[in-house]
Structure 1
Amino acid sequence: MSLKKKFLKSKPVCKVTFVLAKEQAKDAGNVKLVGEFNDWEIEATPMRRQKDGSFSVTLDLPTGREYQFRYLIDGEIWISDPESDKHAFSPFGDCENSVVMA
């Protein structure tokens, strides 16, 4: 799992690519990116399977903010990103959300 960021010079936007590695996705049929940037809507941001078996999606996020997120595999398994910028406790259980700083 990893985050790739590209800050745009022309406007206050950061292009963030979220990647769930093949090892984490295992035999997933689908993976969704769920977080504050899409109001935690499960179906809002599906990720695409790549040729190497990983899943990825790129979002344009306004800069100067932090966004909590998690990955949802096959509608059942929630995974945090250990390589995110930081982590925050989730108010829904004893898990941690990943955080990306744009």
Structure 2
Amino acid sequence: MLERKQRKDRTEVTFVLPADTPPGPVSVVGDFNDWNPHAHPLERRGEDARAATVALPRETSHSLRYLAAGDYWFNDESGDGRDGPNSRLHT
């Protein structure tokens, strides 16, 4: 799930997943962080969720995916469409 907060000069996007599905560590990766799995790992957010927040320029588009343990790649179905095998996000 994506949560967006519009700020004056940027959009803060929070990527939210259930706390244990999929199991193990998960990162959000995309063209905004050079597909680096160490840049934005999801951290626990309460009992039921984990999340990572990324500040992105307003009115831009980005490709992204999640990377979980075991080299398991998956998309965010709440994104703004697809870009080939990736999810698409518009800020």
TM-score where L is the length of structure 2: 0.88
1:18 is matched with which residue? Answer: 15
Partner of 1:37, secondary structure, is helix
**Unaligned stretches of 5+ residues in structure 1:** 90-95
Aligned length: 91
**Unaligned stretches of 5+ residues in structure 2:** none
Distance (whole Å) between structure 2 residues aligned to residue 60 and residue 50 of structure 1: 18
The alpha carbon displacement at 1:84 in A equals 0.5
Higher radius of gyration, 1 or 2 = 1
Moved over 6 A (4+): none
TM-score where L is the length of structure 1: 0.79
Distance (whole Å) between structure 2 residues aligned to residue 100 and residue 22 of structure 1: 22
User: Greater strand share, 1 or 2?
Assistant: 2
1:70 corresponds to 2:65? yes
**Identical amino acids, percent of aligned pairs:** 34
